[in-house]
């Protein structure tokens, strides 16, 4: 028989680090049945019979959020043999609140005092044996980041799970509505057993009330869990009342006990229990924790700067500027060129490049003369072969093309494989080096604790515009992928805030949108990366600005009006994350991108190739002759793009090629670059320069304003199909889903219109027209919504003024 260990703890307590340390790469990631909260399971690397389940990070077991319900239901299900409760040892009092609730469940519990290295570094001391006696369970010192104490922790957990606990595994009611069926009675061997006396006691009045309620419940639940259900009945938690199916007389007796306690304590029952827990925890910490007398810790000193009201936001802007600059400029200048031109292009010359480039320049100069052209046609002048100048490898398309020629492959199949699949997928995979750099930097910032501070900083900003700092967490996740970002909005309790966050969070550039930014970057740079270093960070902050402006405008409508929900978040201690954890976090994000390129982009490239190579020519439908000039104009893709091009003409990219490039991005944002790759490989774009950047610039008519408008539209419009599906599940409403798609697309169109018409007018690329007047009207309308008072603002101000006058 295997052993099942549940890993529970507060957010930012090091639980994910511990889970990765225990399971390595042996992990299964999915969703809990019926909900979209992520579920992680893995096998212990040193014992394959031990299964570890990583529960969502929660602060309590009250059923207020999906994460709390999932954690609570799983612990009550009887599936875990033991619970390993990770607590942040640097913030013991706050973390032990969840510990006391888990202990009430009657399950075997082992407490892991995590981050003990930081406790010692701060000069604090914790009496581990004394803490174990007072909690009534084993306590083990650990430092998950460095793998210290992990083996001892699991050994103690296996020992606790192997101890005979017949009552702990008895069936008990779940908090989920679907599990509210009558509860099986406890087994005969448990029914006569006395409820376990907890090591952590509440004040006498509260303990007396709990004992009286436990007596009323009787043998409806296992004695080991009698205290848990007594507490929940004292708090008058409706899910527990419904699950136990008590009689009216029993409920009346419990209500009388609750009212008597509330009258005696002059407070509501839930607050009484909460205060009792914290009082008991305070006594434990006072007896077991010795704080260092030194003034400030390293974390506190850093936070004085990082979370400063004046310096915090500019510092965050500077950090993200550096992140995107390094990801796009540094990685894009070398690694992406190698991936695009070398791996998925003709090939790459590693040595002798200067001599080769000089020879190529001489060859090109010779072709500009009549004598050179004649010599070339006669075979006397030969194009330089890079393999003759040093270490050189040919690209994948060259190898595949040679193999296809050798086997006599049909021309149309060669076109599908080379110009369709390889050109499309290769154009997407060519940006993997940039993504690796981006995700490495973001994973480091998350691992060291800085991103938690960013959420705190942004709460100050967001609250001014009607959003809670909780909304920034999904937006932070959106920098990796929009799907988990939308799922993360479930932690926002306020329905209006949650809907508004879902409608705006995908405006943040995700990993799939980074290639679009790089595409624009290259098109504007024209080889001079230093001249356009500002492009990549600009579009990240464009996303943030679009979210803030959208939230301000949406708050002016009654469907979103109201105060933002409060934001509470634990700020972890600063620490240097391990290379292993940063690498694993980076790999998870890059892998999802590569998988999408190998599935969705693979299929999309085939569809795009079909639409571009089949059409009606001379009254007949079929495969077009690619040797015919202008054959693409007769393709199905040209017909689709031409029919919708008028929508994008005011944005500066009204050709059918540019239009279909945006349309394919609705399937997956990576398709934007994949489509450009297919278009340019077919020679209809970028005739002056075979490079994809020049080809894309040609699609945009060489207009900088059009290029910027194209990028803005594709970054801000409706997300990919996968994210739209997630929005549909989270909204639980087709109406709100279509409203989200419509708002994002309409807002993106308006932003693109203003960038092209007004920006192009400033650059001298656009002449004044009716569309320019419309762009001015759109700008005026947005400013009106931004500065217009929200519904109820006047009434609240009048009420506050009246109250002040009365005072």
Look at 366 and 537; give whichever has higher pLDDT.
366
Residues 17 and 130 in one domain: yes
Question: Which ranges in 105-196 belong to alpha helices (H)?
Answer: 116-121, 128-135, 150-162, 188-191
Distance CA 470, CA 419 (A): 45
Q: Take residue 97 and report the two structure tokens written for it.
A: 């609140």
Q: Which of these, 153, 57, 71, lies nearest to 114 by C-alpha position?
A: 153
Residues 97 and 141 in one domain: yes
Arithmetic mean of pLDDT, 266-270 = 84
Residues 6+ apart with CB under 8 A from 304: none
Distance CA 66, CA 468 (A): 19
Instruction: Quick: pLDDT tens for 570-588.
Output: 677 787 887 877 888 788 7
Q: Provide the 3-class DSSP secondary structure of residue 489.
A: helix
Residues 45 and 132 in one domain: yes
Residue 152 lies inside a defined structural domain of this protein: yes
**Residue 305: exposed, middle, or buried by beta-carbon count in 10 A (0-12, 13-18, 19+)?**
exposed
Task: Provide the 8-state DSSP code for 44.
Answer: E
- Which range scores top for mean pLDDT: 11-15, 122-126, 156-160, 765-769? 156-160
- Element counts in the chain: helices (H) and strands (E): 39, 13
Residues 36 and 99 in one domain: yes
Q: Take residue 112 and report the two structure tokens written for it.
A: 């892991």
What is the predicted pLDDT for the residue at 774? 93
Instruction: Quick: pLDDT tens for 100-117.
Output: 999 988 889 999 999 888
Residue 55 lies inside a defined structural domain of this protein: yes
Q: Are 551 and 465 in contact (CB under 8 A)?
A: yes
Overall number of domains in the chain: 2
Residue bearing tokens 């009092």:
93
Percent of the chain with pLDDT over 90: 7
Domain boundary at 290, 315, 339, which? 290
Residue 120 lies inside a defined structural domain of this protein: yes
Residues 153 and 233 in one domain: no
Residues 7 and 139 in one domain: yes
Q: Take residue 724 and report the two structure tokens written for it.
A: 């739209």
What is the predicted pLDDT for the residue at 798? 53
Strand-pair category, 38-44 with 27-31: antiparallel
The yes-or-no verdict on residue 60 having pLDDT over 90 is no
Residue 376 lies inside a defined structural domain of this protein: no
Look at 758 and 223; give whichever has higher pLDDT.
758
Instruction: Quick: pLDDT tens for 646-664.
Output: 888 888 887 887 888 888 7
Q: Are 709 and 516 in contact (CB under 8 A)?
A: no
Is the pTM higher than 0.75?
no
The yes-or-no verdict on residue 685 having pLDDT over 60 is no
Residue 476 lies inside a defined structural domain of this protein: no
* Positive or negative: CA dihedral 599, 603, 606, 607: negative
CATH number at residue 250: 1.10.287.1770
The yes-or-no verdict on residue 159 having pLDDT over 50 is yes
CATH number at residue 136: 3.40.50.300
DSSP string, 205-224: HHHHHHHHHHHHHGGGS-GG
What is the predicted pLDDT for the residue at 168? 41
Q: Are 658 and 648 in contact (CB under 8 A)?
A: yes
Residues 59 and 152 in one domain: yes
Residues 206 and 279 in one domain: yes
The yes-or-no verdict on residue 560 having pLDDT over 70 is yes
CA torsion 583→585→590→595, rounded to 10°? 120
Instruction: Quick: pLDDT tens for 67-104.
Output: 788 888 898 888 889 999 999 888 888 889 899 999 98
What average pLDDT is seen over the chain? 78
Residues 29 and 137 in one domain: yes
CA torsion 118→123→129→133, rounded to 10°? -90
Residue 575 lies inside a defined structural domain of this protein: no
What is the biggest distance separating any 2 CA atoms in the chain, rounded to whole angstroms? 109
Its domain, for residue 229, covers 186-290
Instruction: Quick: pLDDT tens for 189-220.
Output: 343 333 445 567 888 888 888 889 888 888 88
Q: Provide the 3-class DSSP secondary structure of residue 706.
A: helix
Residue 680 lies inside a defined structural domain of this protein: no
Residues 104 and 242 in one domain: no
For residue 358, the tally of other CB atoms under 10 A from its CB is 12
Residues 192 and 154 in one domain: no
The yes-or-no verdict on residue 678 having pLDDT over 70 is no
Across-strand partners of 41?
A: 28, 53
Separation in Å, CA 322 to CA 202, 537, 547, 587, 677: 52, 8, 21, 21, 28
Domain boundary at 162, 194, 214, which? 162
Q: Are 366 and 375 in contact (CB under 8 A)?
A: yes
Domain boundary at 130, 162, 194, which? 162
Instruction: Quick: pLDDT tens for 236-250.
Output: 888 888 888 788 888
Distance CA 729, CA 39 (A): 17
Residues 125 and 11 in one domain: yes
| Residue ranges of E strands in 651-776 | none
Strand-pair category, 392-394 with 347-349: antiparallel
Residue 121 lies inside a defined structural domain of this protein: yes
């Amino acid at each position: 028989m295997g052993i099942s260990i549940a890993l529970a703890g507060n957010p930012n307590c090091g639980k994910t680090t511990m889970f990765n340390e225990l399971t390595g790469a042996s992990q299964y990631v999915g969703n809990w049945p019926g909900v979209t909260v992520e579920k992680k399971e893995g096998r212990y690397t040193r014992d394959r019979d031990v299964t570890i389940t990583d529960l969502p990070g929660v602060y309590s077991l009250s059923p207020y959020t999906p994460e709390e319900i999932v954690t609570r239901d799983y612990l009550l299900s009887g599936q875990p043999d033991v619970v390993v409760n990770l607590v942040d040892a640097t913030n013991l009092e706050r973390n032990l609140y969840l510990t006391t609730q888990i202990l009430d469940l009657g399950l075997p519990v082992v407490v892991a005092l995590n981050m003990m290295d930081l406790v010692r570094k701060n000069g604090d001391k914790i009496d581990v044996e004394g803490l174990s006696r007072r909690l009534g369970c084993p306590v083990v010192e650990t430092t998950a980041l460095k793998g210290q104490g992990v083996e001892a922790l699991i050994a103690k957990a296996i020992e606790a799970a192997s101890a005979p606990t017949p009552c702990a595994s008895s069936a008990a009611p779940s908090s989920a509505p679907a599990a509210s069926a009558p509860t099986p009675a406890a087994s005969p061997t448990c029914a006569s057993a006395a409820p376990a006396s907890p090591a952590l006691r509440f004040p006498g009045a509260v303990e007396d009330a709990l004992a009286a309620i436990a007596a009323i419940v009787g043998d409806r639940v296992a004695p080991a869990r009698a205290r848990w259900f007594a507490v929940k009945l004292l708090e008058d938690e409706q899910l527990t009342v419904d699950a136990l199916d008590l009689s009216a007389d029993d409920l009346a007796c419990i209500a009388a006990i609750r009212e008597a306690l509330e009258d005696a304590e002059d407070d509501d029952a839930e607050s009484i229990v909460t205060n009792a827990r914290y009082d008991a925890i305070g006594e434990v910490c006072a007896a077991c924790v010795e704080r260092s007398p030194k003034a400030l810790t390293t974390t506190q000193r850093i936070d004085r700067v990082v979370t400063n009201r004046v310096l915090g936001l500019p510092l965050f802007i500077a950090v993200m500027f550096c992140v995107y600059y390094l990801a796009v400029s540094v990685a894009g200048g070398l690694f992406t060129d190698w991936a695009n031109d070398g791996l998925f292009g003709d090939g790459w010359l590693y040595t002798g490049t200067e001599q080769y480039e000089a020879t190529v320049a001489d060859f090109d100069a010779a072709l500009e003369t009549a004598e050179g052209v004649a010599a070339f046609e006669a075979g006397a002048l030969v194009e330089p072969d890079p393999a003759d100048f040093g270490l050189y490898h040919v690209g994948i398309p060259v190898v595949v093309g040679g193999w296809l020629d050798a086997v006599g492959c049909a021309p149309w199949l060669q076109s599908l494989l080379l110009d369709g699949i390889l050109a499309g997928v290769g154009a997407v995979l060519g940006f993997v080096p940039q993504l690796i750099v981006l995700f490495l930097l973001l994973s480091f910032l998350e691992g060291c604790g800085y991103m938690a501070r960013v959420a705190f900083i942004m709460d100050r900003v967001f609250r001014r515009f009607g959003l809670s700092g909780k909304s920034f967490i999904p937006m932070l996740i959106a920098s990796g992928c929009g799907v988990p970002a939308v799922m993360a909005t479930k932690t926002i309790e306020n329905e209006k805030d949650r809907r508004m966050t879902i409608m705006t969070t995908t405006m943040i550039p995700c990993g799939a949108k980074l290639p679009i930014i790089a595409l624009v970057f290259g098109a504007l740079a024209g080889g001079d990366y230093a001249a356009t270093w500002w492009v990549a960070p600009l579009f990240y902050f464009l996303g943030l600005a679009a979210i803030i402006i959208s939230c301000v405008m949406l708050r002016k409508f009654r469907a979103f009006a109201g105060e933002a929900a409060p934001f509470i978040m634990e700020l972890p201690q600063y620490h240097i994350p391990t290379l292993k954890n940063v690498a694993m976090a980076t790999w998870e994000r890059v892998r999802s991108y590569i998988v999408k390129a190998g599935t969705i982009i693979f299929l999309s490239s085939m569809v795009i190739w079909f639409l571009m190579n089949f059409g009606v020519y001379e009254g007949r439908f079929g495969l077009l002759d690619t040797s015919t000039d202008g054959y693409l104009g007769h393709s199905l893709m040209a017909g689709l793009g031409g029919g919708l091009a008028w929508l994008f003409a005011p944005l500066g990219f009204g050709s059918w090629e540019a239009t279909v490039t945006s349309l394919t991005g609705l399937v997956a944002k990576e398709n934007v670059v994949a489509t450009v790759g297919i278009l340019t490989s077919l020679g209809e774009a970028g005739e002056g320069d075979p490079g994809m950047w020049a080809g894309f610039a040609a699609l945009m008519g060489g207009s900088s304003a059009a290029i910027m408008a194209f990028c803005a539209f594709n970054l801000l419009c409706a997300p990919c199909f996968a994210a739209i599906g997630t929005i549909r599940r989270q909204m639980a409403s087709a109406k709100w889903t279509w409203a989200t798609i419509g708002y994002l697309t309409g807002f993106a169109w308006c932003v693109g219109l203003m960038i092209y018409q007004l920006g192009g007018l400033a650059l001298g690329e656009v002449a004044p027209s009716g569309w320019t007047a419309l762009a001015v009207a759109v700008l005026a309308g947005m400013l009106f919504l931004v500065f217009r008072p929200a519904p109820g603002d006047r009434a609240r101000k009048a009420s506050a003024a009246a109250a002040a006058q009365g005072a």
